[in-house]
Amino acid sequence: MALLNYSRVFSKTLNSKAVSRTLTPSFARLQIRSMATSEIKKIQIQRDDTTFDAYVVGKEDAPGIVVLQEWWGVDFEIKNHALKISKLDPGYKTLIPDLYRGKVGLDAAEAQHLMDGLDWQGAVKDIQASVNWLKANGSKKVGVTGYCMGGALAIASSVLVPEVDAAVAFYGVPPNELADPANIKVPVQAHFGELDNIVGFSDVKTAKALEEKLKASGKPYEVYIYPGVTHAFMNTSPEGVERRKNLGMIDQTEADPADEAWSRFQSWMNRYLSA
Protein backbone atom coordinates (compact mmCIF):
# COMPACT_ATOMS: atom_id res chain seq x y z
CA MET A 1 0.00 0.00 0.00
CA ALA A 2 1.60 3.27 -1.09
CA LEU A 3 1.98 5.80 1.69
CA LEU A 4 0.24 8.50 -0.32
CA ASN A 5 -2.86 6.32 -0.54
CA TYR A 6 -2.75 4.96 3.00
CA SER A 7 -5.79 6.80 4.30
CA ARG A 8 -7.99 5.42 1.53
CA VAL A 9 -8.66 2.40 3.69
CA PHE A 10 -10.96 4.72 5.64
CA SER A 11 -13.06 5.78 2.66
CA LYS A 12 -13.68 2.12 1.77
CA THR A 13 -15.10 1.29 5.18
CA LEU A 14 -16.80 4.41 6.51
CA ASN A 15 -20.38 5.01 5.43
CA SER A 16 -20.35 7.25 2.35
CA LYS A 17 -23.08 9.48 3.76
CA ALA A 18 -21.14 9.89 6.97
CA VAL A 19 -17.98 10.80 5.07
CA SER A 20 -19.73 13.57 3.19
CA ARG A 21 -21.74 14.85 6.15
CA THR A 22 -20.66 18.25 7.44
CA LEU A 23 -20.73 18.79 11.17
CA THR A 24 -23.51 20.99 12.45
CA PRO A 25 -22.71 24.55 13.60
CA SER A 26 -23.55 23.59 17.18
CA PHE A 27 -21.03 20.74 17.05
CA ALA A 28 -18.36 23.10 15.71
CA ARG A 29 -19.02 25.49 18.58
CA LEU A 30 -18.70 22.64 21.08
CA GLN A 31 -15.39 21.69 19.50
CA ILE A 32 -13.97 25.18 19.85
CA ARG A 33 -15.13 25.39 23.47
CA SER A 34 -13.60 22.01 24.31
CA MET A 35 -10.23 23.07 22.94
CA ALA A 36 -10.03 26.12 25.18
CA THR A 37 -7.74 25.38 28.10
CA SER A 38 -5.21 27.63 29.76
CA GLU A 39 -3.15 24.64 30.89
CA ILE A 40 -1.81 23.82 27.43
CA LYS A 41 1.06 25.98 26.19
CA LYS A 42 1.89 26.47 22.52
CA ILE A 43 5.57 26.27 21.58
CA GLN A 44 7.62 25.97 18.42
CA ILE A 45 10.10 23.20 17.64
CA GLN A 46 12.90 23.34 15.08
CA ARG A 47 13.89 20.34 12.97
CA ASP A 48 16.11 20.40 9.92
CA ASP A 49 15.19 23.59 8.05
CA THR A 50 11.59 23.83 9.24
CA THR A 51 9.72 24.90 12.37
CA PHE A 52 6.42 23.49 13.58
CA ASP A 53 3.96 24.26 16.38
CA ALA A 54 3.50 21.93 19.32
CA TYR A 55 1.41 21.95 22.49
CA VAL A 56 2.85 21.12 25.91
CA VAL A 57 1.20 20.45 29.26
CA GLY A 58 2.26 18.77 32.51
CA LYS A 59 4.90 18.63 35.21
CA GLU A 60 8.32 20.08 34.57
CA ASP A 61 11.13 17.51 34.61
CA ALA A 62 8.61 14.64 34.53
CA PRO A 63 8.86 11.75 32.08
CA GLY A 64 7.71 12.92 28.65
CA ILE A 65 5.07 11.49 26.32
CA VAL A 66 4.58 12.63 22.73
CA VAL A 67 0.85 12.42 21.91
CA LEU A 68 0.02 11.93 18.22
CA GLN A 69 -3.15 13.15 16.56
CA GLU A 70 -5.89 11.23 14.79
CA TRP A 71 -6.54 11.99 11.13
CA TRP A 72 -8.63 14.98 12.27
CA GLY A 73 -5.57 16.99 13.32
CA VAL A 74 -4.81 18.72 16.61
CA ASP A 75 -8.42 19.07 17.71
CA PHE A 76 -10.35 18.96 20.99
CA GLU A 77 -10.03 15.19 21.43
CA ILE A 78 -6.26 14.91 21.12
CA LYS A 79 -5.89 17.82 23.53
CA ASN A 80 -8.26 16.04 25.93
CA HIS A 81 -6.02 12.97 25.76
CA ALA A 82 -2.79 14.93 26.30
CA LEU A 83 -4.28 16.74 29.29
CA LYS A 84 -5.52 13.49 30.83
CA ILE A 85 -2.15 11.77 30.34
CA SER A 86 -0.31 14.67 31.96
CA LYS A 87 -2.36 14.13 35.13
CA LEU A 88 -1.89 10.38 35.40
CA ASP A 89 0.11 9.37 38.46
CA PRO A 90 3.00 10.10 38.94
CA GLY A 91 2.59 12.94 36.41
CA TYR A 92 3.85 13.37 32.87
CA LYS A 93 4.91 16.15 30.54
CA THR A 94 2.96 15.66 27.31
CA LEU A 95 3.64 17.22 23.93
CA ILE A 96 1.44 17.22 20.80
CA PRO A 97 3.32 18.00 17.56
CA ASP A 98 1.07 19.64 14.96
CA LEU A 99 1.68 17.29 12.04
CA TYR A 100 -0.84 19.14 9.82
CA ARG A 101 0.70 22.56 10.45
CA GLY A 102 -2.45 24.15 11.85
CA LYS A 103 -5.07 22.45 9.67
CA VAL A 104 -7.97 20.55 11.26
CA GLY A 105 -10.59 18.43 9.52
CA LEU A 106 -14.15 19.25 10.51
CA ASP A 107 -15.66 16.35 8.55
CA ALA A 108 -14.37 12.97 7.47
CA ALA A 109 -13.84 13.95 3.83
CA GLU A 110 -11.62 16.85 4.90
CA ALA A 111 -9.77 14.66 7.42
CA GLN A 112 -9.11 12.09 4.71
CA HIS A 113 -7.77 14.83 2.43
CA LEU A 114 -5.39 15.98 5.16
CA MET A 115 -4.21 12.44 5.89
CA ASP A 116 -3.74 11.77 2.17
CA GLY A 117 -1.44 14.77 2.01
CA LEU A 118 0.65 13.83 5.04
CA ASP A 119 4.38 13.36 4.51
CA TRP A 120 4.75 10.27 6.70
CA GLN A 121 8.54 10.30 6.74
CA GLY A 122 8.39 14.00 7.60
CA ALA A 123 5.94 13.22 10.40
CA VAL A 124 8.43 10.75 11.86
CA LYS A 125 11.05 13.52 11.80
CA ASP A 126 8.58 15.79 13.65
CA ILE A 127 8.13 13.06 16.26
CA GLN A 128 11.87 12.64 16.66
CA ALA A 129 12.31 16.38 17.11
CA SER A 130 9.49 16.35 19.69
CA VAL A 131 11.10 13.52 21.66
CA ASN A 132 14.43 15.34 21.59
CA TRP A 133 12.77 18.59 22.73
CA LEU A 134 11.31 16.84 25.76
CA LYS A 135 14.65 15.23 26.61
CA ALA A 136 16.37 18.60 26.27
CA ASN A 137 13.79 20.17 28.58
CA GLY A 138 13.87 17.96 31.64
CA SER A 139 12.43 14.57 30.65
CA LYS A 140 14.94 11.77 31.22
CA LYS A 141 12.78 9.24 29.36
CA VAL A 142 10.15 9.83 26.68
CA GLY A 143 7.38 7.62 25.34
CA VAL A 144 5.15 8.01 22.31
CA THR A 145 1.43 7.33 22.04
CA GLY A 146 -1.14 7.98 19.35
CA TYR A 147 -4.65 7.29 18.13
CA CYS A 148 -5.78 6.13 14.68
CA MET A 149 -3.23 7.73 12.31
CA GLY A 150 -1.22 8.63 15.40
CA GLY A 151 -1.31 5.03 16.58
CA ALA A 152 0.32 3.90 13.36
CA LEU A 153 2.92 6.63 13.75
CA ALA A 154 3.59 5.62 17.36
CA ILE A 155 4.50 2.12 16.20
CA ALA A 156 6.58 3.56 13.35
CA SER A 157 8.42 5.70 15.90
CA SER A 158 9.26 2.62 17.96
CA VAL A 159 11.11 1.36 14.88
CA LEU A 160 12.57 4.54 13.43
CA VAL A 161 13.25 6.94 16.33
CA PRO A 162 16.15 5.73 18.50
CA GLU A 163 15.40 8.23 21.28
CA VAL A 164 11.96 6.71 22.06
CA ASP A 165 11.84 4.64 25.27
CA ALA A 166 8.35 3.06 25.00
CA ALA A 167 5.21 3.28 22.87
CA VAL A 168 1.47 2.73 23.20
CA ALA A 169 -0.64 2.63 20.03
CA PHE A 170 -4.40 2.87 19.77
CA TYR A 171 -6.09 1.32 16.70
CA GLY A 172 -3.50 1.98 14.01
CA VAL A 173 -0.72 -0.04 12.33
CA PRO A 174 1.82 1.48 9.90
CA PRO A 175 2.39 0.12 6.40
CA ASN A 176 5.51 -2.03 6.14
CA GLU A 177 7.14 0.38 3.69
CA LEU A 178 7.16 2.99 6.43
CA ALA A 179 8.14 0.73 9.34
CA ASP A 180 7.93 -3.02 9.91
CA PRO A 181 6.72 -3.67 13.49
CA ALA A 182 8.93 -6.77 13.62
CA ASN A 183 11.81 -4.30 13.91
CA ILE A 184 10.63 -2.38 16.98
CA LYS A 185 13.43 -1.28 19.28
CA VAL A 186 11.41 -0.56 22.45
CA PRO A 187 8.45 -2.00 24.43
CA VAL A 188 5.13 -1.55 22.60
CA GLN A 189 1.55 -1.88 23.84
CA ALA A 190 -1.38 -1.75 21.38
CA HIS A 191 -5.18 -1.50 21.70
CA PHE A 192 -7.90 -2.38 19.19
CA GLY A 193 -11.69 -2.72 19.01
CA GLU A 194 -13.19 -6.09 18.12
CA LEU A 195 -15.71 -4.49 15.73
CA ASP A 196 -13.22 -2.13 14.05
CA ASN A 197 -13.69 -2.74 10.31
CA ILE A 198 -10.90 -0.59 8.85
CA VAL A 199 -9.27 -3.43 6.96
CA GLY A 200 -5.49 -3.46 6.85
CA PHE A 201 -5.19 -0.67 9.38
CA SER A 202 -6.97 -1.48 12.64
CA ASP A 203 -9.29 -4.46 12.17
CA VAL A 204 -8.85 -7.62 14.27
CA LYS A 205 -6.90 -9.46 11.55
CA THR A 206 -4.43 -6.58 11.38
CA ALA A 207 -4.19 -6.47 15.18
CA LYS A 208 -3.36 -10.18 15.33
CA ALA A 209 -0.79 -9.85 12.54
CA LEU A 210 0.78 -7.00 14.51
CA GLU A 211 0.94 -9.23 17.58
CA GLU A 212 2.87 -11.87 15.64
CA LYS A 213 5.34 -9.26 14.43
CA LEU A 214 5.80 -7.83 17.91
CA LYS A 215 6.43 -11.34 19.18
CA ALA A 216 9.11 -11.80 16.52
CA SER A 217 10.84 -8.59 17.62
CA GLY A 218 11.90 -10.05 20.95
CA LYS A 219 10.92 -6.83 22.75
CA PRO A 220 8.26 -6.60 25.48
CA TYR A 221 4.77 -6.16 24.02
CA GLU A 222 1.08 -6.36 24.83
CA VAL A 223 -1.86 -6.39 22.40
CA TYR A 224 -5.44 -5.96 23.63
CA ILE A 225 -8.66 -6.40 21.64
CA TYR A 226 -11.76 -5.01 23.36
CA PRO A 227 -15.05 -6.85 22.68
CA GLY A 228 -18.08 -5.11 21.23
CA VAL A 229 -16.44 -1.79 20.32
CA THR A 230 -15.47 -0.17 17.05
CA HIS A 231 -12.74 2.26 15.98
CA ALA A 232 -11.82 5.29 18.12
CA PHE A 233 -13.34 3.90 21.33
CA MET A 234 -11.07 6.09 23.46
CA ASN A 235 -12.97 9.20 22.31
CA THR A 236 -15.45 9.41 25.17
CA SER A 237 -16.15 13.14 25.33
CA PRO A 238 -19.72 14.14 24.31
CA GLU A 239 -18.34 15.65 21.10
CA GLY A 240 -16.23 12.59 20.37
CA VAL A 241 -19.14 10.22 20.97
CA GLU A 242 -21.36 12.25 18.63
CA ARG A 243 -18.69 12.28 15.93
CA ARG A 244 -18.26 8.49 16.14
CA LYS A 245 -22.00 8.01 15.75
CA ASN A 246 -22.02 10.34 12.75
CA LEU A 247 -19.45 8.05 11.14
CA GLY A 248 -21.46 4.91 11.82
CA MET A 249 -19.18 3.68 14.62
CA ILE A 250 -21.83 2.02 16.79
CA ASP A 251 -20.58 -0.11 19.67
CA GLN A 252 -22.46 -3.29 20.55
CA THR A 253 -21.78 -3.35 24.26
CA GLU A 254 -22.72 -1.30 27.29
CA ALA A 255 -19.23 -1.73 28.67
CA ASP A 256 -16.84 1.20 28.27
CA PRO A 257 -13.30 -0.12 27.72
CA ALA A 258 -11.64 3.29 27.91
CA ASP A 259 -11.01 3.15 31.68
CA GLU A 260 -9.38 -0.27 31.40
CA ALA A 261 -7.29 0.88 28.45
CA TRP A 262 -6.15 3.97 30.34
CA SER A 263 -5.15 1.80 33.30
CA ARG A 264 -3.09 -0.46 31.05
CA PHE A 265 -1.56 2.58 29.35
CA GLN A 266 -0.59 4.05 32.72
CA SER A 267 0.98 0.82 33.95
CA TRP A 268 2.99 0.44 30.73
CA MET A 269 4.33 3.97 30.69
CA ASN A 270 5.09 3.91 34.43
CA ARG A 271 7.03 0.70 33.98
CA TYR A 272 9.21 1.84 31.09
CA LEU A 273 9.53 5.58 31.65
CA SER A 274 10.45 5.56 35.33
CA ALA A 275 13.96 6.87 35.89
Look at strands 93-97 and 64-68 and give their pairing. parallel
What is the structure's pLDDT at 134? 98
Percent of the residues in the chain that have a pLDDT greater than 70, as a whole number = 86
Buried b (16+ CB within 10 A) or exposed e, 146-184: bbbbbbbbbbbbbbbbebbbbbbbbbbbbbeebbbbbeb
What is the structure's pLDDT at 24? 38
Q: Which residue has the higher pLDDT, 253 or 7?
A: 253
Coil, helix or strand at residue 239: helix
Confidence check: pLDDT of 119 > 60: yes
Q: Are 193 and 218 in contact (CB under 8 A)?
A: no
Going by pLDDT thresholds of 50, 70 and 90, the confidence category of residue 18 is very low
